[in-house]
A and B are shown apart, each in its own frame.
Chain A
Amino acid sequence: MYDFNKYFEAETLDEAKKILKENPNAQIVAGGSDILVEIREKHIEGLELMGIHKIKELKEISIDSEGTISIGCMATFHMLENNEIITKHIPMLGRAGGVVGGPQLRKVATIGGNIANGAVSADTATSVWAYNSQLVLESADGNRTIDVKDFYLGPGWTDVKQNEILTKILIKKEDYEGFSGEYIKFSQRKALDIANLGCAVICKLDGNKFSDVRIALGVAGPVPIRCKTAEDYAKGLEVTEENINEIGKKAVLDGKPRDSWRASKAYRQQLIEICSQRALTKAAQLAGGK
């Protein structure tokens, strides 16, 4: 039995916004794979749930005339893995979706839930950030679009207000065109596990030189991060093993991992270095680097 007081089923986006506004205890349930686990573990006083899975537009993945890709919040990981727009333009995100949980989970769990939940281990968060995505938040009081870099406020805490719905994730052409990427999920198990480190790296080459490198890390600090020092350092460098190794070392300077019973700080730093290097090596190969 699940511990909540009431369930609303929103048929349209407007109705969903209205329900959230009128019911301050109402929370969205998308795939339910985070929130139902959470309420099994702890009692949330007065909790009400609102389902949004009947709202078709939230499941859409599309590309507009300017090349901006729009991913509806209710797109499941299974859809990400198999959608042509994604596999063609931003394949790393599709692959990141493909390493989440197991096959059953990927049919129900959504990218919106993954991002809105705010977990630092969320497997798509790093790709979403590497592609400099924008997040569209809608409510009965109006809509706003924010940069992913402004989205995370603290551990498990994001800028989504109770009355807001994260309706879609936007990725502009300039943020994916010409980039190649690799996502490494380092975890203790090859399925059904959360990452010890999530490492999404995309790069663009100019000849055999890095013209743009983006390294996004999950579980390397309280929230997902980008490795500014490493990225700045990388720009203009030749694609060589030594340079890539050095870029990985710089990424360690950007990480803020801590000691916990799950892994030590020293080990997490090692993972940051090695995974950044390996992901960048792969990304550079995909981009035609030598």
Chain B
Amino acid sequence: MNFTQIGKPLKRYDAAAKVTGKAKYAGDFHVRDMLIGKIYRSTIAHGYVKKIDISKAKALPGVVAVITFNDTPDIKYPTAGHPYSTDPKHQDIADRQILTNHVRFYGDEIAAVVAENDLIAREALRLIEVEYEELPVVLTVEDALANDAPEIHKGTKNIVGKMNYEFGNVEEGFAKADFVVENEFETQTVQHCAMENHVSYAYVDAQDRLTVVSSTQIPHVVRRIIGQAFEMPVHKIRVIKPYIGGGFGAKQDSCIEPLNAALTLAAGGKPVLLDLDREESIIGTRVRHAVKYKIKTGVTKDGKMIAREVSLETAKGAYASHGISPVAKQGTAFIQMYTTPNVKFDMISVYSNAPVAGAMRGYGIPQINYALESHVDDVAAKIGMDPTDFRKLNQVKEGDADPKTKLKILSCGLEECIDKGKELINWDEKRKKYANQTGDIRRGVGMAEFCYGSGTYPVCLEIAGARIVLRPDGSILMQVGATEIGQGSDTVFSQMAAEVLGISTDQVYLESTTDSDTTPFDTGAYASRQTYVSGAAVKKAALECKSRIFEAVKKRKEIAVEKLDIKDSQIIEKNSGKVVMSLADLAMDTYYSRENSNPISVDVYNQTKSNALAFGVTFTEVEVDIKTGTIDVIEIYNVHDSGTIMNRQLAEGQVHGGMSMGMGYALTEELKLHPETGKTLNNNLLDYKLPTMMDTPDLGVEFVETYEPTGPFGNKSLGEPPAITPAPAIRNAVLNATGVSFTRLPMNTQRVFEKFKETGLI
């Protein structure tokens, strides 16, 4: 494909505004009379509030309001950032109240204060007195399913949901296999740690409407959820999304907005800022599901996997949030990655008295991918095959179809990704060199691969809106419902519009604020969907705008529409290249012509009914310090097939961030709870070991560009995928270095030390 704007390493349109501080984030609006909201969080993990005394807090000078569960509506609502389902059977679980007297995790929200400033608000919290009736703390799947387990949500038996399926017959498959390999794996709870915490401010506007300005990935959905929380029609609610400092899924959920709305209502409609600190953001928003796996593969002598089975369980925390979706989706990846005739998947998700698991970059896939790709290396080792050859023999390719959805793969560069990765890391030579080492310091190379969808079709609705206005100077104003949260989607959308319209990107003004009143509808930033799904709406709007332009030219110049094109903001005759008129002259005339005044503005929606798989690999080399259990990543490469790369610079940024996230997942990050009280022990950035720049080697990024026919410009997803494979690749490199099969994340020094003791290396 020959593009003029797509693929250019264009600088982010908002780069200067962000580094100079001109870009305003939700916490930056210091409006007149702004009050401060703070949340009173429970100091037990499970039980009921027997007594709560807020009188002293209320009496404190400077306190405007103190509310408890007695003051908020007795309504249960869902929080997940999913499109609404018109089928009640598929609606998200409504188990949340704005404030609660039934404490379900350590830090649950019981009461809240509004005060004139932050210090008074904090002092007011100290003056609230609470007595609890405690219940046993449920932290594991076993606890939750015990016969005498207390119910965290009445009537659920603590089960959020189950799912299973089988294609072919795995029992028969295992019977035919030459080898059967079984493993158990376990992943940990981690948190998103977006640069910007959850923050919003809310007020009642001049038309008596509840307005919430929030750091969210899903402004339109949040409007609906606030409506559900108050049983209020959406026309009384307005949600605005300003610049956002990252979300990674924790903001694909309405964590704070309904409470913020309740706080402004309690304060007579005055603006109230609800700005969670890091400690609260870590426990009080969302976390990644910790999952346990039992996985089994039957393989023939010549390396064909003929039966695969996985069963997984998760204790997902105090509220349903996204329900079973991030766990059920793991079955998709499990089945899609390798074409095995007999596959079986089953899962169970239960409630527990822990911080709530929800969406997080990769939506369950980093977990299953860790288990699957670690297991696959063990299987390859069992039959003595090189892990890359083994994968090539078994993995999906163009033309294969998902056995469940029947969606066909139309583009697949996975094999090329592997070849590229091998070359970058010098695979063949190093695998040999590192085969049998002794000594305290050992090296190894490892890899892992993934596949990942571009959106949620056919499980969920995929709808996106875009609006383009041709302005009198020939530039365009564009509005999209898709949400720029730092990933760079707005820049890419302007490249798309510029591409179609034959103008340069500086002629595209894209309004970054999303406002549920004025911005077209779109369900938001998640599932790596926006360039693929929302991009299709942008393309459609631009094409429609272009044909409106040509119609307008035809009216004026009597040239057939088919003969026209636009290049460098000049309307030209396609064949001769002759300039007919400038886009600016035409635009001006559409506004002011005495005969033909009809300014051009288009407003379109596009529903996507396809879903393309993106592919990729991580290749890495590690150095293991046997005596201290330290694993150092020496070299690491991600190679991606995301179809057409829209903007190399932004794409690399996405990949870098994902790789760093994956490395933290592999080695250091883990949210830890006290095993008895359920209190989070390390909800701060000192004790929660997010890797720093110094822990990160140079990150190698390569792309294998395929052309995906269902993508608006041949493109597929790239937002989440980079975070998926680093952890298993590192794990497999450690296997190569030491011969030890690790089965649990993270591989922090303590755990590596224990494993080396167990296996006799120390």
Q: Which residues of A contact B (CB under 8 A)?
A: 1, 3, 43, 102, 186, 188-194, 196, 261-264, 266-267, 270-271, 274-275
Contact = CB atoms under 8 A, between A and B. Distances in A.
B506 interface: no
Nearest to B681: A261
B692 A271 contact: no
A132 B153 CA distance: 61
A189 B122 contact: no
Interface of B is mostly: loop
Contacts of A196: 749
A266 B754 CA distance: 9
B85 interface: no
Contacts, number: 56
B453 to A, nearest CB: 34
A267 B686 contact: no
Top 9 A-B pairs, shortest CB-CB distance: A190-B694, A191-B694, A1-B118, A191-B692, A274-B627, A188-B689, A1-B119, A267-B753, A190-B695
A199 to B, nearest CB: 12
Contact of A189 (B681, B689, B757): B689
Nearest to B673: A261
B694 to A, nearest CB: 4
A263 B682 CA distance: 13
A109 B505 CA distance: 46
B513 interface: no
B435 interface: no
A261 B628 contact: no
B119 A264 contact: no
Given A190-B694, A193-B689, A274-B627, 7 more contacts: A1-B119, A43-B122, A102-B692, A189-B694, A267-B750, A267-B753, A270-B753
B623 to A, nearest CB: 14
B119 A3 contact: yes
B13 to A, nearest CB: 29
B632 to A, nearest CB: 9
Among A43, A196, A261, A275, max chain B CB count under 10 A is at A261
Contacts of B687: 262
Contacts of A186: 628
B17 interface: no
A43 B629 CA distance: 39
Interface string B736-755: 00000000000011100110
Contacts of B559: none
B762 interface: yes
Contact of B750 (A191, A264, A274): A264
27 contacts: A1-B117, A1-B119, A3-B122, A43-B122, A43-B126, A186-B628, A188-B668, A189-B689, A189-B692, A189-B695, A190-B695, A191-B692, A191-B693, A191-B694, A192-B686, A192-B692, A193-B689, A193-B692, A261-B672, A261-B682, A262-B687, A267-B629, A267-B753, A270-B627, A270-B628, A271-B628, A275-B628
Contacts of B754: 264, 267
A189 B663 CA distance: 12
Contacts of A1: 117-119
B740 to A, nearest CB: 17
Contacts of A274: 627-628
A190 B628 contact: no
B691 interface: yes
B753 A191 contact: no
B113 to A, nearest CB: 15
A190 B695 CA distance: 6
A43 B399 CA distance: 64
B377 to A, nearest CB: 25
A186 to B, nearest CB: 7
A3 B126 CA distance: 13
Contacts of B753: 267, 270
Interface in B703-762: 748-750, 753-754, 757, 762
Contacts of A192: 686, 692
A92 B757 CA distance: 32
Nearest to A275: B628
Among B117, B682, B695, max chain A CB count under 10 A is at B695
A217 to B, nearest CB: 15
Among A3, A267, A271, max chain B CB count under 10 A is at A267
Given A191-B693, A191-B694, A270 B762 contact: yes
A150 B681 CA distance: 33
A191 B695 contact: yes
Interface in B108-138: 117-119, 122-123, 126
Contacts of A194: 686
Contacts of A3: 119, 122
B741 to A, nearest CB: 21
Nearest to B751: A267
Contact of B749 (A188, A190, A193): A188
Contacts of A189: 668, 689, 691-692, 694-695
A169 to B, nearest CB: 26
A128 to B, nearest CB: 23
Interface string B657-700: 00000000000100010100000011000110101111100000
A270 B687 CA distance: 21
A54 B117 CA distance: 31
B279 to A, nearest CB: 8
A263 B691 contact: no
Contacts of A190: 692, 694-695
A157 to B, nearest CB: 21
A263 B750 contact: yes
A186 B682 CA distance: 19
Contacts of A193: 686, 689, 692
Contacts of B123: 43
Nearest to A273: B627
B69 to A, nearest CB: 25
Among A189, A190, A196, A275, max chain B CB count under 10 A is at A189
A192 B668 CA distance: 14
A276 B43 CA distance: 41
A266 B628 CA distance: 12
A281 to B, nearest CB: 12
